């Protein structure tokens, strides 16, 4: 419970920064003009939608292979989409709980089996994002690059030390999950899982790439992969539907570090976030049609697991 409150308090400065940027830079006419640019260039809209969709398909396939299930890809894809939809509807990140319940229900898994696979996928996501973020800081020569490298090294050493703790060998449940993890990741499919997750986050950066191209921001693809990684990693401070406020603050700050002026960075952030909201609702509606999930059932999973 203390961790949840630490996260919520940590989000306050990001929300304050968003409010300040909105008060200073938001202009309804300019916003509508940017939105019109997006509508007038359907090729970029299609590019963004396709790249974002493919990123979720790759994540779903990585999840399917890790779980060792023979179930069809659609179950895992719709599970991720439901997670995305819930996170854009609720102020706290309850999407992973719904994702877990959906897999338990449709793939006939136990709750622990489903939760294990969801947790591992999330950890691999965060590891990939941190590696992209760290590599970007080093390669782009951004301030504090040496500090970021030291943090990554310390985190790796800490993880290795925790893994070797003797107390873990006395916990059957932990050993069971570690055995599953090693069996999956040290097998032939482990490399595919890691590659699929890595490529999926590059594809997700296609949304920001499309927005930057429409707004004529002079940024390279590698820089935008870094900006996307920093932004998504910052969504750990998600305390509003869809991370409103924290998303805009982290992306605006990342683009500003790449040399984009504050107002343009803010405009790109709110436009890309609007696209992601649209995607979440459109694909959420599609999942509801293809593999219906009742709100009462989803709410029961969230309530039982005491999320929020």
Average pLDDT, stretch 116-131? 89
Answer whether residue 174 shows pLDDT above 60.
no
Structure pTM?
Answer: 0.86
**Residue 289 within a domain:** yes
**Residue 203 within a domain:** yes
| Alpha-carbon span 156 to 306, nearest angstrom | 31
Place of tokens 């996260």: 7
Q: What is the pLDDT of residue 176?
A: 57
In terms of Cα–Cα distance, which of 105, 51, 115 is closest to 78? Answer: 105
pLDDT band per the 50, 70, 90 thresholds, residue 148: low
Average pLDDT, stretch 169-181? 55
HEC assignment per residue over the chain: CHHHHHHHHHHHHHHHHHHHHHHHHCCHHHHHHHHHHHHHCHHHHHHHHHHHHHHHHHHHHHHHHHHCCCCCHHHHHHHHHHHHHHHHHCCCCCHHHHHHHHHHHHCCCCHHHHHHHHHHHHHHHHHHHHHHHHHHHHHCCCCCHHHHHHHHHHHHHHHHHHHCCHHHHHCHHHHHHHHHHHHHHCCHHHHHHHHHHHHHHHHHCHHHHHHHHHCCCCCCHHHHHHHHHHHHHHHHHCCCHHHCCHHHHHHHHHHHHCCCCHHHHHHHHHHHHHHHHHHHHHHHHHHHHHCCCCHHHHHHHHHHCCCC
Q: What is the pLDDT of residue 173?
A: 45
- Residues shown for the chain: 308
**Residue 22 within a domain:** no
**Residue 295 within a domain:** yes
pLDDT for 243-266, tens place per residue? 888 899 889 988 998 889 989 999
**Residue 12 within a domain:** no
Give me 87's structure tokens.
């996170």
Q: What percent of the chain has pLDDT over 70?
A: 80
**Residue 110 within a domain:** yes
Higher per-residue pLDDT: 127 or 142: 127
pLDDT band per the 50, 70, 90 thresholds, residue 308: very low
pLDDT band per the 50, 70, 90 thresholds, residue 307: very low
Average pLDDT, stretch 269-289? 95
Q: What is the pLDDT of residue 171?
A: 45
Q: Count the domains in the chain.
A: 1
Give me 112's structure tokens.
């622990």
Average pLDDT, stretch 210-226? 90
Answer whether residue 207 shows pLDDT above 90.
yes
**Residue 17 within a domain:** no
Q: What is the pLDDT of residue 130?
A: 85
Backbone dihedral angles phi then psi of residue 64, each to the nearest 5 degrees: -60, -45
Q: What is the pLDDT of residue 167?
A: 46
Average pLDDT, stretch 160-185? 55
Higher per-residue pLDDT: 181 or 161: 181
pLDDT band per the 50, 70, 90 thresholds, residue 3: low
Answer whether residue 170 shows pLDDT above 70.
no
pLDDT band per the 50, 70, 90 thresholds, residue 168: very low
pLDDT band per the 50, 70, 90 thresholds, residue 177: low
| Beta carbons within 10 angstroms of residue 28's beta carbon | 7
Answer whether residue 155 shows pLDDT above 90.
no
Answer whether residue 204 shows pLDDT above 70.
yes
What mean pLDDT value characterizes the chain?
83
Q: What is the pLDDT of residue 26?
A: 82
Answer whether residue 156 shows pLDDT above 60.
no
**Residue 126 within a domain:** yes
Question: Which residue segment(s) compose the domain that 152 sits in?
Answer: 28-65+76-86+94-304
pLDDT band per the 50, 70, 90 thresholds, residue 271: very high
């Amino acid at each position: 419970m203390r961790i949840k409150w630490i996260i919520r308090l940590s989000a306050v400065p990001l929300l304050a920064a968003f409010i300040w940027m909105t008060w200073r830079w938001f202009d309804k006419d300019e916003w509508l003009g940017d939105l019109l640019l997006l509508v007038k260039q359907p090729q970029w809209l299609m590019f963004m939608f396709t790249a974002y969709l493919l990123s979720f398909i790759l994540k779903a396939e990585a999840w399917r292979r890790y779980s060792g299930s023979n179930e069809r890809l659609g179950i895992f894809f719709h599970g991720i989409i439901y997670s995305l939809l819930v996170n854009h509807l609720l102020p706290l990140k309850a999407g992973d709980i719904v994702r877990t319940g959906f897999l338990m229900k449709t793939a006939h898994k136990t709750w622990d089996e489903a939760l294990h696979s969801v947790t591992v996928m999330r950890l691999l996501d965060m590891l990939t994002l941190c590696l992209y973020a760290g590599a970007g800081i080093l390669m782009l020569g951004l301030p504090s690059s040496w500090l970021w490298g030291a943090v990554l090294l310390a985190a790796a050493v800490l993880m290795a030390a925790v893994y070797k703790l003797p107390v873990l060998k006395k916990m059957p449940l932990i050993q069971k999950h570690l055995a599953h993890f090693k069996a999956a990741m040290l097998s032939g499919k482990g490399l595919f899982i890691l590659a699929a997750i890595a490529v999926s986050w590059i594809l997700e950066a296609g949304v920001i790439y499309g927005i930057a191209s429409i707004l004529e921001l002079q940024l390279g693809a590698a820089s935008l992969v870094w900006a996307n990684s920093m932004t998504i990693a910052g969504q750990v401070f998600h305390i509003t539907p869809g991370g409103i406020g924290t998303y805009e603050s982290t992306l605006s700050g990342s683009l500003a570090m790449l040399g984009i002026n504050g107002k343009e960075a803010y405009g790109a952030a709110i436009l890309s976030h609007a696209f992601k909201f649209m995607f979440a609702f459109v694909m959420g509606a599609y999942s509801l049609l293809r593999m219906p999930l009742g709100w009462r059932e989803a709410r029961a999973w969230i309530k039982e697991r005491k999320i929020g």
